[in-house]
Structure 1
Amino acid sequence: MELAYTEGSIRWPLRRQLCKIEYNWIQGVEALEDYEPGVNTASSVPRETRVLNALSKSFMSSHGHPGRRLVPELLDEFEVRGPNGTHTCYTVTLAACNLRDVSFSLFPLDVARALSHSLAQAVACVHSQGYVHGDLHLNNVLLALPSNFDDLSVEQLYAKYGKPETPLPPNIPAEAARPLLLGRSIDQLTLSTARLLLNDSGEAFCPASEVRLGRDCHTPSGARAPESKFEPGVPLTHRSDIWSLATALWELMGMKPIVAQHIDVLGPMPSDWWLRWKARDELEVAVQKWRRREGNKIVEEEKAAFLDLMHRMLVYLPEERLTADEVLQSDWMVKWALPDYERSLKGST
């Protein structure tokens, strides 16, 4: 077994289920000696497991949401007693690398559109159950693995991704492990592999039953809604996720976080400044010249629709921003992102 790191936890990707091997993330640390599903459930359950449990129950009691499969499923909870202490662990759906790890270059245009629609659908799914994700950025968006990944034997897994290693630098505990890298380079991404999971619910909360003030927002500053900075004593809402979603969509479509950079420098913009905002012109520099080189540049009609969507998501007053459902109903999502998303479902394996 091997480790993989996330924002608030460390993960192990192996689980046996009777005679069939099923790979899932086991979030926790250290050696998992004699792990048996359902045994040694931890008494102190982390916030993320509470949220995932609540979401699972909501989905079971309703007709479900089309974005349900884009949210990791909680499979088990338990404790591990190892040489470095006792740790709460839980298993969730296995995935590959996060989108930040592969966003060093430009996503193929059809892949960027499909991933954008998937991400908006995942956020809409979480919101439909009354929750705010609270930490939305590309580090917390994972590439899903192909459905036939569970068909790999342990030997085949090691042959493809490498065997476990246990380095022992002097500054770490006596027992540790290096992460398993299941990712792929951006030039390997196609529509058939453009599937994601919205990860890390450790900052998620339900506004109907829990107040989360702006000052307690831990989203990275480049993706953080401005109300958390300028109104730190005001509760966050679902619309805070919408601002973060907009910055993520821009990065998916435009390679570098232009929106975040300019907002950090200029502060939040009044709506009537948007048309004069110089970052609009930088779309040509940051996106179009690269897409033109790859032969798949964004046409003017799509560019206008995408910028209009950004305009309606990046609004200073939270209550004036689009909802997640309205994002999915926008012209850009319906005319450009949705068709590529649907093609990705037909070609996925």
Structure 2
Amino acid sequence: MVVRYMHERGFVHGDLHRGNILLRLQSQFNFDKLSTKEPYELYGEPDLEPVNRYDGQPPPAGVPKHGVVPIWLGASSEKVTLLEASIVLTDFGETFCQAREKRFGSRTPLPIRPPESRFEPTQSLTFSSDIWTLACTIWDIVAQRSLFEGFLTDEDEMTCQQIAALGPLPREWWGRWEGRRNHFNDSGELNTRATSQYGSLEVAFELFVREARVREGMSPFGSGERDAFFEMMRSMLAFRPEERLSAQQVLEAEWKVKWAVPEYEKIRSERES
């Protein structure tokens, strides 16, 4: 919903991923009601770490002499119940107004980086770029792991993973991808052992969602929910940006309407009761 809110006001977030979704402090940590002195009385003086240069020289002007160790205010995420959880979207350092500014290239982590930033480098990122990263983030939350593996992965290997999961690239992208011959034969089939290990979206779901939920004693996705989830994900992860769902259409997707939103409303009503 917050992504739709931003898009309706003309802004592209530009860096959507799970690391930028935070849990709001629980009610007992309401700093708005504390005086300036009370945090020190409750938690003591902050721990300071000096800023040192490798060459032993003093930090230049504008660099602080010390850093402040973050304070621990809550519990581990595993101990936060759904009733207590309230999330906020953060980090707007890459945010821009689509109507007033062009933004070329993406600095989001490679596993969730929208492919148009590579294959359409002269085209500005758009709302649709957020939809790609939002889809990757939804998968990351549902599966508790990334859809695309980023460890020791370069752009060519990432493209191979995307093709394995989502199908062929648009013809013009395929034609200008110089690295394809290192991974595919003339028939478009993966030709190396390293890249042939990548699986389809359905295989990834079976391994990392269904089986994982069974191991953890969680109720599995029913066939109807699974199919609706696939339909939404594929519509959000279309290679061509113009073919992806809008943020409003994501909220109207069957999986959102029949499963995600009702569960959210149930949790919210329990919190307010």
TM-score normalized by the length of structure 1: 0.58
Pair 1:311–1:241, CA change in 2 (3 A): same
Task: Look up the match of 1:198.
Answer: 89
Task: Look up the match of 2:215.
Answer: 293
Gaps of at least 5 residues in structure 1 are 1-120
Rounded to whole Å, the distance in 2 between the matches of 1:182 and 1:196 is 16
**Which residue of 142, 145, 162 corresponds with 1:256?**
145
* Letter of the 1:269 counterpart: I
Residues 268 and 316 in structure 1, CA contact (< 8 A), matched pair in contact too: no
Pair 1:207–1:265, CA change in 2 (3 A): closer
The answer as to 2:46 corresponding to 1:164 is: yes
Rounded to whole Å, the distance in 1 between the matches of 2:248 and 2:234 is 16
1:262-286 CA distance string (max 9 Å, x none): 9815164399838x95242122221
Residues 161 and 181 in structure 1, CA contact (< 8 A), matched pair in contact too: no
Task: Detail structure 1 runs of 4+ shifted over 6 Å in the superposition.
Answer: 158-162
Q: Secondary structure at the match of 1:289?
A: helix
Pair 1:157–1:302, CA change in 2 (3 A): farther
**Which residue of 267, 278, 281 corresponds with 2:203?**
281
Residues 49 and 68 in structure 2, CA contact (< 8 A), matched pair in contact too: yes
Q: Secondary structure at the match of 2:12?
A: coil
Matches within 5 A, 1:149-160: 149-150=29-30, 153=34
**Which residue of 231, 253, 258 corresponds with 1:335?**
258
Residues matched between the structures, number: 226
The answer as to 2:112 corresponding to 1:218 is: no
Residues 165 and 201 in structure 2, CA contact (< 8 A), matched pair in contact too: no
**Which residue of 225, 233, 256 corresponds with 1:302?**
225
The answer as to 2:30 corresponding to 1:146 is: no
Gaps of at least 5 residues in structure 2 are 54-58, 169-197
Residues 127 and 324 in structure 1, CA contact (< 8 A), matched pair in contact too: yes
The answer as to 2:65 corresponding to 1:174 is: yes
Residues 305 and 331 in structure 1, CA contact (< 8 A), matched pair in contact too: yes
Rounded to whole Å, the distance in 1 between the matches of 2:95 and 2:257 is 28
Pair 1:161–1:332, CA change in 2 (3 A): farther
TM-score normalized by the length of structure 2: 0.72
The answer as to 2:124 corresponding to 1:235 is: yes
Could you say which structure has the higher strand fraction?
A: 1
Matches within 5 A, 1:119-138: 121-138=1-18
* Letter of the 2:18 counterpart: L
Deviation, 1:160, is: 7.4
Pair 1:257–1:162, CA change in 2 (3 A): farther
Select the structure of larger CA radius of gyration: 2
Rounded to whole Å, the distance in 2 between the matches of 1:288 and 1:199 is 30
Deviation, 1:290, is: 2.3
